[in-house]
Structure formats: structure tokens, C-alpha cells
Amino acid sequence: MVFNKKCAVQIVAASVCSTLAVGFASAAEFNLTYASPYSTTHPYGAADEAWIERIEEQTDGRVDITAYWGRSLISSREGVDELEAGIADMAYITPIYATSGYELNRLTPAFFYGYSDPAHVLEVYQQLWEDFPTFSEELDGVRVLGFNVGTPMHLQLRDTPVRELEDLQGLRIRAANDYIGALAQFGAEGVAMPMGDTYPALQRGVLDGVVAPYEALKSLSFGEVVDYYVDLPHSRGAYASRAMNQDVWNSLPEDIQAVFIDNIDWLTQKNLENSMAAEESGKAFGREQGVTFIDIADSEKQRYAEAFVSSARDVAEDLDERGLPGTEILEQVRQAHQNAD
């Protein structure tokens, strides 16, 4: 009987707690959902988690956000379309990975070749959003709430050091499509391969290297299978990365909208801060694994950057033909890079 009484007490207590929890949850005026392809252990997910807490605090609990992590609701490639369709109220989006559409958002990151400072890339890119309204018009089904900038990727090499571009001759290097043409100009074979398959390919010698950021030395354990890290920049540009469904946005009162607007820069900078911390962690792991870091000469970096000029012009001209300001944007991006030198 004593056991049964304890059980009854526990059941009642659990019921009360459940009722209270529901009461507290329903106290929010606006219950929103947020979807991300990342987990909270990833730098982007960690930034989102802190941002969600900040929004809830600054709205005095009037906004409650339920997050869905790790592709449970949304994909990375078609995230904008999925958000616009209402799969979630807010989401991490990557228009740069879309298979079509969003031309300025998707294609202009190619103009940032030669940039090495992600903070500068972000500054220039956000100025483009101010100067060219078409960027936001392309995403007219969503309201952008934050931006992301990729930290530069470099060469990670299995057992062949590269100190000048001619050393690339004959190497097989896993790279995104944007970089394959430039690698080919110096005799390397760019290989399109899922990043998840890259570690065993490096381990077996199927690949000689990979274009990846410092953080991948640790996060993808590349530091275990490469001997050299060469700081030859492969800039990734920037992009609108967090957004809210436009209909949901329109349903919110102005004071709640203001809280989200006031936190755009905070989320953007928090994301960059987390990414840079991950870079340092990757470097430290690489040193622990005995990776040799090679500082390639500035003259070689300039030669390599020039390999991207033709493809960037082709992209700009293609945008021009679609009635978009491709060449104008390209010139502004390149002028900003020149001014920083």
C-alpha cells in the first residue's frame, strides 16, 4: 500500500507539472517554429540557440520558439522554397545552394575570389544588399533575419607539400565546382565528391588533397589523414542565412518585428564569432596531429586569384543578359577588395 500511495503521489505531481508546463507554454502570444539542417553542436546551430534565447528574453516571453534541428524539417538546398511553403515559421536558409532561381543570391559569391578576411567579405556583401534591392526581392516570400559568411577554405594535402602553384600538377583534389576550373589551370584534377566520402579517400590515397577550412581538420578529422595545410585562399562569399516566412512576419505586431530586426546584426556577428572559434580549434587539432602549416607567398595567391577572373566575368555577363546588375556588382566587389589591399 505504501508503494501504491507513493505512485499515486508521483502521478499526481507529474500531472500537475504537466499542466503547469502547458500553462507556461501557452502564456506566449506567439508560438513560432525554427528549422535548421544543423545541430546545436555546430557553430551555426550554437549561434541559433543563443539567438532564440535572446529573442524570447527581449520579447518578455511573448515569443516562444520551438527549434527542430538536423534536417528534421528542412533541407539545406531547397530551404528557401520550403520556408516559403510554410514547413516552418523560421529557418536556416542557403539560397547559394539552390538548384535554380535566386540568381544574385546564388551566383554573386563567385565574385569574392582572393578575399581572405571573412569579416570584410561580410561587410562588402551586406553593402550589396543595401545598394541592390534585387537581392531581397529575389527572396520576397521570406523575411531575412541574418547573414552568414563562410570562412575561407584552403588546401589540405595528404603527403605532397605545395609552395608554388606548379606543385599542384597531377594532384587529385576534392573541391567544390566553383574551384575546379582554377585548379585545372595549374594541372590539378578537381574531384567532385561528397565531403563525407573524403576522409576514406584521403586515407587510401584516392585523393591527394581537399579544399576545406581549418575547422575541418577537427570536425571532419582531416588532421588525421593530411600532412600539410597550405593557406591558398578559396573564398566562399556570404549569403542570407536565416529568415521567417513572409506571411508569419506580416502577422506579427511591429514591436515584435522590431526585436527581430534589432537582432539581425547580433546573430550575424555571433555566427561569425562561432565560426572563427571553430577555425582556431581546427588549427589546434591540426598541430596536435603534426600537420605542417605552409604560408604560401602572396605572389602565388595573386596568381591563383587571377585564375577566377574569367569565370567571374562570365557569371556577371550572364546576369547582365537576364536584366540583372551582374557587371555592376562584380565591379563593386572587386573595387572593395582593391581598396583593402
The size of the chain, in residues, is 341
What averages of pLDDT result for each successive group of 10 residues across the chain (341 residues)?
39 39 63 95 95 98 97 84 96 90 94 93 97 96 96 95 97 93 96 90 97 95 98 93 98 98 98 96 98 96 94 96 98 96 76
Assigned fold of 153-235+285-340: D-Maltodextrin-Binding Protein; domain 2 (3.40.190)
Residue 339 has which C-alpha cell? 581598396
- Give the pLDDT score at 92: 96
Model confidence, pTM: 0.85
- Give the pLDDT score at 328: 98
Cα dihedral value 142, 147, 152, 158, nearest 10: -60
- Give the pLDDT score at 23: 44
Residue 263 has which C-alpha cell? 537582432
Q: The dihedral of CA 110, 116, 118, 123: what is its sign?
A: negative
Beta bridge partners of 157: 209, 228
Helices (H), the chain: 2-26, 43-58, 79-84, 103-107, 118-131, 134-137, 177-185, 198-204, 216-219, 246-251, 254-262, 264-288, 298-306, 309-321, 326-340
**CATH 3.40.190.170 spans which residues of the chain?**
30-149+239-279, 153-235+285-340
* Residue 145 amino acid letter: L
Residue pointed to by grid coordinates 550554437: 46
Beta bridge partners of 61: none
- Give the pLDDT score at 249: 98
Burial of 136 (0-12, 13-18, 19+ CB in 10 A): middle
Residue pointed to by grid coordinates 521570406: 142
- Give the pLDDT score at 22: 43
What DSSP state is assigned to residue 279? H
Query: Which one of 3.40.50.150, 3.40.50.720, 3.50.50.60, 3.40.190.170 gives the CATH number of domain 30-149+239-279?
Result: 3.40.190.170
- Give the pLDDT score at 12: 36
Give the contacts of 53 (CB within 8 A, at least 6 positions apart). none
DSSP-derived 3-state class of residue 323: coil
Q: In whole angstroms, what is the distance from residue 252 CA to residue 51 CA?
A: 18
